[in-house]
Amino acid sequence: MDLPKLAIAALGGTVSMQARHASEGVIPTVSGETLLASIPELTLLAEVSIETLGLLPSASLDFGFLLNVLSWANFQIKQGAIGVVITQGTDTLEETATFFDYLWDHDAPLILTGAMRSAVQAGADGPANLLDACRVALASSSRQRGVQVVMNGQIHSASAVRKTDSLALQAFSSPIVGPVGLLVEDSVRYLRPPVPRNVLPLPVQTTQRIALLEASLSADSLLLENIVGLGYAGLVIAGFGAGHVSVNWAERIETIAQKIPVIVATRTGSGATARSTYGFDGGEIDLTRKGALMAGFLCPRKARILLWLLVGCHRQDELAKHVSHT
């Protein structure tokens, strides 16, 4: 009986890290092939092809590199893979998942995973996470779910997942909605059905810059005042509470929103921006009147990725539609 085809790409990150010398910190050195050798049972489940596309800490990934990885993943599906798995560092895992999810137009699953412990630490979680991710990618119930993150026995949708702890094994969660599925005794168990997705075309330009600024107590507005002059094509504000800023910032945002798109999200880490509750200057009602869009449940980092992609494919006029679906 022929085994299903599964494609894996290794980008680097903690899952691939070890120290060259005992007195030094860990760095990405372990190839995808070595990672695959740590889970020999996978060869009983699938015909696996693996490529090491990079050995980078995920903080050094960029949109251009990710577009190349996406092209590789698309090719794997055309070559007959029923699913694709990507390993990378966890620092930007939630952002990478979001980036791919907006562009992944296949029914086949694209699964991202990584590790919180390096390859040489006792209890390294990389092999288990990789095997779990492969099981999810091979499951027929994973189809039409877009991009998902598999970590620590949980399956998270790209639209909801966030890294919510810096070092703990249980570092990833999906605030409010929870994981979309679990791995139970090596079986993939989904807790809810797939939902419709909004897939964007590939960007035709990649030089656009989108700024992300966080509101904070008594913050000055110098950076804000110079955003347009610095050449940014869009602005995301991580606002207080339900999407609020100071009076001073609100005045600057009104001027900026006449020239480039402005999205206001919440910096809290959970919950949505309000729409019609607060009427003070700098509240969501005031900001909306001044031309800003409220991000809803979309976190600031994901909002920046959405805006970068929309500007890149000249669809920034559709921003309100995409934000309203969050």
Q: Please, what is the average pLDDT of the chain?
A: 95
Does residue 20 surpass a pLDDT of 80?
Answer: no
Q: What is the pLDDT of residue 248?
A: 98
Q: Please calculate the CA angle 301-297-213 and round it to the nearest 5 degrees.
A: 35
Determine if the pTM surpasses 0.85.
yes
**Exposure b/e, 62-76, CB count within 10 A at least 16 = b:** ebeebbebbeebbeb
User: Distance (Å, rounded) from C-alpha 233 to C-alpha 298?
Assistant: 19
The predicted-structure confidence for 81-138, as pLDDT tens digits, reads as follows 999 999 999 999 999 999 999 999 999 999 999 999 998 888 899 999 999 999 999 9
Q: Name residue, tokens 């092939």.
A: 33
User: Distance (Å, rounded) from C-alpha 267 to C-alpha 271?
Assistant: 10
pLDDT band, very low/low/confident/very high, at 325 (cuts 50, 70, 90): low
Nearest to 172 by CA among 116, 214, 109: 116
User: Distance (Å, rounded) from C-alpha 302 to C-alpha 60?
Assistant: 17
The predicted-structure confidence for 179-193, as pLDDT tens digits, reads as follows 999 999 999 999 999
pLDDT band, very low/low/confident/very high, at 196 (cuts 50, 70, 90): very high
Q: What is the pLDDT of residue 18?
A: 80
Nearest to 149 by CA among 76, 78, 92, 67: 92
Backbone phi and psi for residue 212, each to the nearest 5 degrees, phi listed first: -130, 115
Does residue 275 surpass a pLDDT of 70?
Answer: yes
Domains of the chain: 5-190 (3.40.50.1170), 210-324 (3.40.50.40)
pLDDT band, very low/low/confident/very high, at 23 (cuts 50, 70, 90): low
